[in-house]
Amino acid sequence: MVAVLALRHPTDNGTSAGSATPPPVKSSSSSKGAKASKSPSKSPSGSSSSPAPSTSSTSETAAAKTTPLVVLNDTSVYHLASQAGAQFAAGGWTVTSSGNYDAPDGILSTCAYYDPAVSGAEADAQALKAQFPGIARVEPKFADLPAGPIVVVLTPGYNP
């Protein structure tokens, strides 16, 4: 019952229960050594150091996002290309068009096809795939695809 009261009223038990629960929140600067030794998994400083690397990758991704995308639906799901295109656009990418596609030989899995003649298109397609794991592969474009630096063809296994 005392433990139940301590959980229900942490402010009433600020001296006894407060030393167990509030230190990670209140006294983060005064008991850094205690927190690191007691609960290294709760240290938010490790997660706060990760934004610095993501800032550099964010600038690379921001440059990649200027590469136009064409999104095509090779499934029977109605408006999948426009829905995926909206998700890509919400993620900061430029989607120039979307529509249906009936692959002559069938596409095995969702793929971002890049134009090898466009400088940086492959790296941009890889950045798109990294941001949207529903894109299974990155491959060079083939002749039957429409013009564009990156053409994303969605297949039945696509999961945003």
Q: How confident is the model at residue 53 (pLDDT cuts 50, 70, 90)?
A: very low
What pLDDT score was predicted for residue 61? 52
- CA-CA distance, 38 to 120, in Å (whole number)? 47
The pLDDT of residue 66 = 86
**Which of 65, 81, 55 has its CA nearest to residue 125?**
65
Amino acid at 80: L
Cα separation, 62 vs 92, in Å, equals 8
Whole-angstrom distance, CA of residue 81 vs CA of residue 100: 7
Give the Cα separation of 31 and 121 in Å (integer): 49
Which pLDDT score is estimated for 10? Answer: 35
pLDDT digits 0-9 by tens, 71-129: 999 999 999 999 999 999 999 999 999 999 998 777 899 999 999 999 999 999 999 99
The pTM is what?
Answer: 0.62
The tens digit of pLDDT for each residue in 21-33 reads 333 333 333 333 3
- Per-residue confidence at 65, pLDDT binned at 50, 70, 90? confident
Report percent pLDDT > 70 for the chain.
60
d(CA 10, CA 78): 53
